[in-house]
Structure 1
């Protein structure tokens, strides 16, 4: 008997970007039809003010309206909109969710830290062999570090460190000064201390835009190429060298890189610093990281098949 097929529109509304995946779910098979990303910087100044800025909300609602036009054209049957760090940290997050519901007709799900970590792990590992893995997703407002195997999470944390948050808080100069980098490093190390106690793992999977951008730098790509990035295995030494290069660049020099998304250039240094410290501090029985373009967005799509979601 053929399993039913459901066409899903999955939204990942993060601190820096809003992304859309339209795909078919049929049993254990996911078939992608469309992936879109817009940099909207919803988390602009949230770390300082505790609120979503009016202009940031405007950018995000505009992007959502653009995405909404695609949904009927592609025959979507179920919509799942998940918001993460910026919205859960903001005092006006409820008003933002109400506005999104007015556009899409569905109530946004604001993922708490454990749920965000679970979605990240599910998206990153669903199509990999069932091997015990460490998955890291460095976002704009938070970083998820998860250990598990075969879809079951052993331990995981969502840390309030991300590329936008750290840049706004610590890395004000262009390029960052040695003192700024040192202060930021000490702060990140203090938050990573509990994660360093995880039992060592032999497979390390890195996902999401910060990490794939570092990988593009390490591979010396002439353009952003998800096919070249997905599945690439790079040594920690190679990755850390790319991280340090990105941290030390001016924003103008980053923008000139052929693989750099222009909306990421001003904050990639903060994200690269997080990855550098993770490679230094986390217990790994491997000297390589596998890059994946499958991440929390794919996890949100898989979660759409769960009847209790929302």
Structure 2
């Protein structure tokens, strides 16, 4: 590989995100561009087992826009990586998705395992952390899955797991009303608790809790009461563990229309943030830490670091 920036596209159940970055010369990243669009690729996947045509078209349109940005930054084709996560693992029309992305971006999507997603999320989160105490738990609540990774403060994960619970999946599977009923929440909580209890994560040993990705950055934005999202304020913000539970309860008592009018909530996330917050609250209830530390560094950063290191190794060969 030649030198220059790398481009990472992360396509999950709810969002498609882009990071263009280059090496900072010290083993880290210098961000050149970062973008996010909510495309809801995983719409209906839990029920149908396939991507809906309208979800594919939204995702393809966003990919075309990202391709233009990547071209503007002069990123070489071999330095572009398209990472597809939870929604793309088991769908019946995955090849249609692959073909659409390859046509627009020039690279074939890489559907990573839950373990790989966890590893990259941990690496990304720790790259933006300020000397956390170990053991560290990194939590990534996505639309279709939740990644839990525990490791030391040096960035070495010791245990990671991907659970089939996410903001979109829980909403589509359990919510029968808006806002969800007490019974809806109780049934969702039983599943979440069952999966967390069987996860093998030693929650009681955790000394630092770091949260990444849209659900948890939204909780930080709600806590900060941000009329306009500001990632510089969100990054590193501490949300008290009890405050996470309180926000989850307030969201559960609100309709999606009421939530859409709240500061800190992206309008297209309003109908699923209640489920994401419920998952966060159930995780927090198992921890002894004072607060959730929210990070804007996540799987995108981890994948970019991986690609830059691979490029460096290739140049040194």
Using structure 1 for the length normalisation, give the TM-score. Answer: 0.93
Q: 2:206: which partner in 1?
A: 201
Q: How far apart are residue 131 of structure 1 and its match?
A: 4.2
Change (3 A) 1:291 1:197: closer
* d(CA) in 2 for partners of 1:6, 1:27: 15
Q: 2:102: which partner in 1?
A: 101
Give runs of aligned pairs for residues 1-310 of structure 1, distance below 5 A: 5-25=3-23, 26=25, 28-77=27-76, 78-128=79-129, 129=131, 131-132=133-134, 133-149=136-152, 150-195=154-199, 197-198=201-202, 200-281=205-286, 284-307=287-310
Determine helix, strand or coil for the equivalent of 2:41.
Answer: coil
Q: Deviations over 1:133-180 (max 9, x none)?
A: 100000000000000122211001000000000000001311111111
Q: CA RMSD in A?
A: 1.8
Confirm or deny: 8 A CA contact 1:79 1:106 kept in the other structure.
Answer: yes
Q: How far apart are residue 303 of structure 1 and its match?
A: 1.9
* d(CA) in 1 for partners of 2:201, 2:255: 35
* d(CA) in 2 for partners of 1:49, 1:27: 46
Q: How far apart are residue 107 of structure 1 and its match?
A: 1.6
Change (3 A) 1:21 1:41: same
Aligned residues: 304
Confirm or deny: 8 A CA contact 1:226 1:293 kept in the other structure.
Answer: yes
* d(CA) in 2 for partners of 1:217, 1:72: 35
Q: Deviations over 1:207-241 (max 9, x none)?
A: 11101111222222233221221111222111211
Confirm or deny: 8 A CA contact 2:38 2:268 kept in the other structure.
Answer: yes
Confirm or deny: 8 A CA contact 1:215 1:239 kept in the other structure.
Answer: no
* d(CA) in 2 for partners of 1:175, 1:255: 12
Change (3 A) 1:57 1:225: same
Determine helix, strand or coil for the equivalent of 1:89.
Answer: coil
Using structure 2 for the length normalisation, give the TM-score. Answer: 0.91
Confirm or deny: 8 A CA contact 2:241 2:292 kept in the other structure.
Answer: yes
* d(CA) in 2 for partners of 1:272, 1:61: 29
* d(CA) in 2 for partners of 1:29, 1:300: 12
Determine helix, strand or coil for the equivalent of 2:5.
Answer: strand
* d(CA) in 2 for partners of 1:203, 1:85: 26
* d(CA) in 1 for partners of 2:245, 2:236: 18
Confirm or deny: 8 A CA contact 2:137 2:151 kept in the other structure.
Answer: yes
* d(CA) in 1 for partners of 2:63, 2:228: 27
* d(CA) in 1 for partners of 2:44, 2:240: 35
* d(CA) in 2 for partners of 1:264, 1:93: 25
Confirm or deny: 8 A CA contact 2:222 2:263 kept in the other structure.
Answer: no
* d(CA) in 2 for partners of 1:65, 1:58: 11
Confirm or deny: 8 A CA contact 1:247 1:268 kept in the other structure.
Answer: no
